[in-house]
A and B are shown apart, each in its own frame.
Chain A
Amino acid sequence: MPIHEQSLIRPENLKTHDELVMDGVDVSGHWSTFIESRVVSDYNEALQDEIAALPGGEYIHRCWQCGSCTNSCTVNAINPDFNPRYWIYLARMGMESELLRDKDIIWQCVSCNKCTYACPRDVVPEGVMKAMSHWLELKGHTPKSPSMHFDEVFSEQVIARGKIEESRTMQRFFKRTGQPMFQDWFIEMVKRMLRHLPVGMLTRMGLASLLAPRTAGWARARDAIREYAEEQHSKQRQALGLGELIENAKQDAGAPARS
């Protein structure tokens, strides 16, 4: 799979004139295609540091742009716009507005770790993709992705009970993302499952969904994990300057700022 790059000259930056006369010479049509000047003036110099402050993004600075990640990428093979090497480049250069052009697909990394396997610099591009999607959401550039919703629904259950019960996780995920559970393929799957299932298995599955499995004596682990997660969360917000942003917004709105 060749490394597919976005063209540096985008169609909207190409200007073609139907009638153009320069110094008395008619240059309309084919010969009058000009490129809009491109000046990048909105660098976010903190971009790499902000992404590096989020879990998974720690090693972004190691990248030397070989492109092994994009070359081996599972998602790139079905969507050439999915380009980890390019996004890492943009983050390191601080080209935030350029990165934001792809904000709606970065979360689609499937965590197959082919990039991490191939990377000669141990950048852990898979982690960087997660950190970037997290960054986009924390900064308010994108709403929470379906993947983030799923991770949250799943993790809330694990942290609360120690174990997962799949049908419950599925139901909550569909509810939180506003999707109907009984989609055509789902109904067909249930039908096929029921074809050979003995009564005992059905009873067991029914019981599991009613009683939801849990790890005994989990309360102390649960509280310790929640406390730790909360600490990490506030550290991340601080690293992204989000606390400051919120305080400023409050002051602008005339609300009393909390100390």
Chain B
Amino acid sequence: MATNPEKYKRVAYYPGCALEGTGHAYNRSTKVVGKALGLDLVEVKNWNCCGAMEVKNIDPKIQTYLSSRVMSIAANEMGMDTVMAPCNGCYHNLKKAEYDLAHDPKSGEVVERLSGKAGHEAYKAGQVETIHALDWIKESIGEEGLRQRVQNSLAGLKVANYYGCMYTRPRHIFPEKDQGEGSESTSKPHFMDDLLAAAGAENVEFPLKTACCGGAHTLSDSDTSTKLVLNILTAAEAAGAEVIATECPTCHSGLEMHQIRAEKRFGKATSVKIVYFTQLLGLALGLSPRQVGLQENVSDSIGFFRAKGLA
């Protein structure tokens, strides 16, 4: 059910660096799905990197400042009250900055000081609400709304929904989750399952929804990442999935890269396709493979979707 059809109809869009690079297909498919659903995305002006998974290891408060600047621009320069970030990393960091600014006076001091020197208004906790692309569609369109708009049902498509780490952990930065009926769960997230089921897909019982792909060390400790990804790929296949649906550019490109690396380095080949959940929704809404950017994925799924009659 769409609980708040008007609330997220027009939101500030924070794509982040990855969506302008390796995650471009996610950027493209998020935008076309939004358009097809009649939702408005207004890109955050002159945004900067949120700090990703790296800057916090240099200094966590620099990361808090970087994320706060994005929210400050949305609130103070654009007058928006909601920031939608499809990337789990961006989403997580904005949520983390929000939490720290609401609870830790020292973080506030650093943000005030850096914002002042950088020449923009400092972000104050509570000025915007940060949401994920999943919240955005789930809240404003909902399963029923989606069901009515499906032109090309995903019926018969077996999907493993993969949420990764940053969408649910640590729990305290997501105060709206685990609030019972209708809210997202941090231990067994289901928003992607709900949306894809509404689009007709058959979600398999997938035990590694929130397992880690080793994204933080994808290049610096590649063997560990390959082992972690291989666990995810083989578990998805064992559960009967033909497709893994992703919601994060780091997870997505990590799964793609290490699927190849597992084959090259460990001789372990897997054939499960890796696709952004927005690409699947786009296909269900009658968009073409090119419109949702399937050709931009490393994991080649175009032939597969053609054979399924979905492309």
- Give the interface of A toward B (CB within 8 A): 55-56, 74-75, 78, 108, 110-114, 116-117, 124, 127, 130, 134, 145-152, 154-155, 158-159, 162-167, 170, 173-174, 177, 184-185, 188-189, 192-193, 195-198, 201, 204-205, 208, 213, 215-218, 220-221, 223-225, 227-229, 232
CB-based contact A74/B260 at 8 Å: no
The contact size tier of chain B is 35 or more
Known: A147-B216, A155-B55, A196-B300. Is A74-B211 also a contact (CB below 8 A)? Answer: yes
**Can you list 25 A-B pairs with a CB-CB distance of less than 8 A?**
A55-B61, A74-B228, A108-B221, A110-B221, A114-B212, A145-B220, A150-B54, A151-B55, A163-B17, A164-B49, A177-B220, A185-B264, A188-B264, A189-B256, A189-B260, A192-B298, A192-B300, A196-B300, A197-B295, A218-B48, A220-B119, A221-B117, A225-B62, A225-B114, A229-B58
CB-based contact A151/B265 at 8 Å: no
CB-based contact A224/B113 at 8 Å: yes
B59 at the interface (CB under 8 A from A): yes
Known: A55-B60, A112-B165, A147-B220. Is A162-B49 also a contact (CB below 8 A)? Answer: yes
CB-based contact B114/A110 at 8 Å: no
Residues of B within 8 A of A112 (CB): 165, 169, 212
Query: What separation, in Å, do the CA atoms of A31 and B220 have in the docked complex?
Result: 48
Total cross-chain contacts (CB, 8 A): 183
- Give the interface of B toward A (CB within 8 A): 17-18, 20-22, 24, 46-49, 51-62, 65-66, 69, 110, 113-114, 117-119, 165-166, 168-171, 186, 211-212, 214-217, 219-221, 224-225, 227-228, 256-257, 260-261, 263-265, 294-296, 298-300, 302
CB-based contact A223/B264 at 8 Å: no
Residues of B within 8 A of A149 (CB): 220
Cβ-closest chain B residue relative to A114: B169
CB contact between B114 and one of A158, A184, A197, A221 (< 8 Å): that residue: A221
How far does the Cβ of A224 sit from chain B's closest Cβ, in whole Å?
4
Known: A117-B171, A195-B300. Is A146-B265 also a contact (CB below 8 A)? Answer: no
